[in-house]
Amino acid sequence: MLAFVSYAVKMPGRVGAVAGVTFTQLVRMRTFAVLAVFALGFLSLQFIPYQQNLGIEYQGLGELQLIRDVAMGCMRLFSMLFCVAATSLLLPRDSEDRILYTILSKPVPRFDYLTGKALGVLGVLGVMLLVMDGLMVGLLQLRGAEITRQLQETLAMRNLSEQEMLPYLQQVAETSSAAASQWNLLISFFAYAVLTTFTLVISCFTSGTLVSMVFALGGYFIGSFREQLFELIRSVSGWGSTTSTGLQWSEHIFSLMLPDFSLFSLSENSEAISGMSAQLVGELSLIAAGYMLLHLLLGAWILSHKEY
């Protein structure tokens, strides 16, 4: 009991130290340079010629929708690639630089080491997402204000009263709002946290960075379409709606080993986003925490049985 208390007391310090070193290591790798590319590409969206002959009720809405969709797509793609690439590099680089031997030869448990690595990656990713999200929200507000002004001038030329203008202006305000995107980005961050620890586990038993990246990306895409894969297996095997006991156990084992990333994929127009509640966010965060804990424990077990 005293040993467990001592471990629990010292664990935050060890994890924080490893996370800080990992954060600094990733910053020195100039990962933040991606933000400059994202910012330049994202800001150029406002100079794209948009179709303006759709009718007054749609004026500017396509531009705002395109800005949000492109920004969210870029953030998701970048986050997925960053989690896989950065995490796959950590253990091989620590091994090449002999840092891993120094750390593990000291009283640093494998679990604390892997937890610190994961938190370091997520810390860098969180900062990047905050900056990119700020750019998206800022540009949406600027363009929304400009489109609102232009729309008011157009409606005034058609002699519409303020009451008659209100529905059109509200539509622009709703389209320029990024509230749904914030919820979506938070839920997606849970998926990237699970992907980070999943990639860490793969890095513990693979021999190269490229191999880890291929397996992690493959696992992410398979996990995103896991239910469709099960349905395909049932249809091919001929079981249909009746599932055999062997197939059920196979699905349970597969589900335990490979995270269900589709749980964190919510459309911004879905009822789940519009009716988002603290309970749903809490449930998804617990699911993500469960996956992460399982991955970290498995990775620590692999490291404890691996010779360096």
Domain boundaries, the chain: 7-304
Tokens (6 digits) for 169: 């202006």
* Spatial distance between the Cα atoms of 31 and 104, rounded to a whole number of angstroms: 26
- Looking at residue 54, what is its pLDDT? 45
pLDDT of the residue at 50: 53
Helices (H), 206-306: 209-224, 226-237, 245-257, 271-274, 278-304
**Closest Cα to residue 187, out of 70, 280, 256?**
280
Q: How many CB atoms lie within 10 A of CB 167?
A: 9
Burial of 17 per CB tally in 10 Å (0-12, 13-18, 19+): middle
Which whole number is the average pLDDT over 172-180? 78
Compute CA 215 distance to the chain's CA centroid, rounded to the nearest angstrom.
18
pLDDT digits (tens, 9 = 90+) for 32-55: 666 667 666 666 665 555 545 445
Q: What is the pLDDT of residue 192?
A: 94
pLDDT, averaged across the chain: 78
User: What is the rounded end-to-end Cα distance, in angstroms, of the chain?
Assistant: 31
Residue 276 or residue 56, greater confidence: 276
DSSP 207: S
The pLDDT score that the predictor gives to residue 122 is: 94
Q: With both helix axes pointing from N to C terminus, report the angle between 162-176 and 110-157 in degrees, rounded to the nearest 10.
A: 160
Give the pLDDT band of residue 2 (cuts 50, 70, 90).
low
> 98-129, pLDDT tens digit by residue?
777 777 676 778 898 999 999 999 999 999 88
* Per-residue pLDDT, 172: 80
pLDDT tens per residue, range 235-267: 766 655 545 666 666 666 666 678 888 888 765
pLDDT number for residue 293 = 93
* 183 φ, ψ (degrees, to nearest 5): -60, -45
Q: Is the pLDDT of residue 164 over 80?
A: no
The DSSP output letter for 52 is -
